Amino acid sequence: MEYLRGERPPGCALCNALAEPCEDLSLVAHRGEHAFVVMNRYPYNNGHVMVVPNRHVSTLELLDDEELLSVMKLANLSVAALRNLAAPDGFNIGVNLGSAAGAGIEAHCHVHVVPRWAGDTSFMPVLAQTRVIPESLSDTRRKLAESIHGLLTAGG
């Protein structure tokens, strides 16, 4: 809600992240030819990432086959990297197309990859509208980038 109701910097937040060369500022964990992986600034859980096509389009139907394949491969790679990094019990993977579907950034489509642990929904989000994230986004980004790099160099 902070993002949805708050003031936003000019331009697309996802395009801005892609254009930012400093990973600590952009929170980009991996940059590919057609898509990238970025930490969600307002995560549901620790390790919540978004896989984003480099091209600014609002819906998956506008992606060409190479872009779509790249997004899905990076979603799969993100799952593998997060498994290695944080050993979650499961994942939520999804796309919100349009504001009616819950898209906070509806002009640039993206796929959410959210690690889940048994019992990770506690009283904090329900009563205090607060999420407990035990690690800074920059630290998680760095560890995730290392995990992705390790998988890619190992051929995974």
The dihedral of CA 143, 9, 19, 58: what is its sign? Answer: positive
Known active-site residue 48? no
> What gap in Å lies between CA 52 and CA 111, rounded to an integer?
7
Catalytic residue, candidates 30, 108, 110, 112:
110
Strand 35-39's sheet: what is its strand order?
28-31, 35-39, 49-53, 111-116, 90-94
CA torsion angle 57 92 90 55 (round to 10): 10
Q: Would you name the residues annotated as active-site residues?
A: 110
